[in-house]
Structure 1
């Protein structure tokens, strides 16, 4: 239904999902932090 009302909704959702994935990836400890 949302896609019928706004065909760009899938792109908006994908963009927000990518931003969330990037943020989660940035929260992971770096290898040098794990070794300390």
Structure 2
């Protein structure tokens, strides 16, 4: 199954939002470092 760039970016955004919700503002920098 092939996944398009849009689907990948959507998954990343949802995952980042979920992690931010769990870790609160203290985890924002960590999330950004992991994504990029």
The TM-score normalised by the length of structure 1 is 0.54
CA RMSD of aligned residues (A): 1.4
Counterparts of 1:19 and 1:11, CA distance in 2: 12
Return the index of the structure with the highest Cα Rg. Answer: 1
Structure 2, gaps ≥5 residues long: 25-36
Q: Which has the higher helix share?
A: 2
After the TM superposition, which segments of 4 or more aligned residues of structure 1 sit over 2 Å from their partners?
none
Higher relative contact order (CA 8 A, sep 6+): 2
Match of 2:14 among 13, 16, 24: 16
> Gapped runs of 5+ residues in structure 1?
27-36
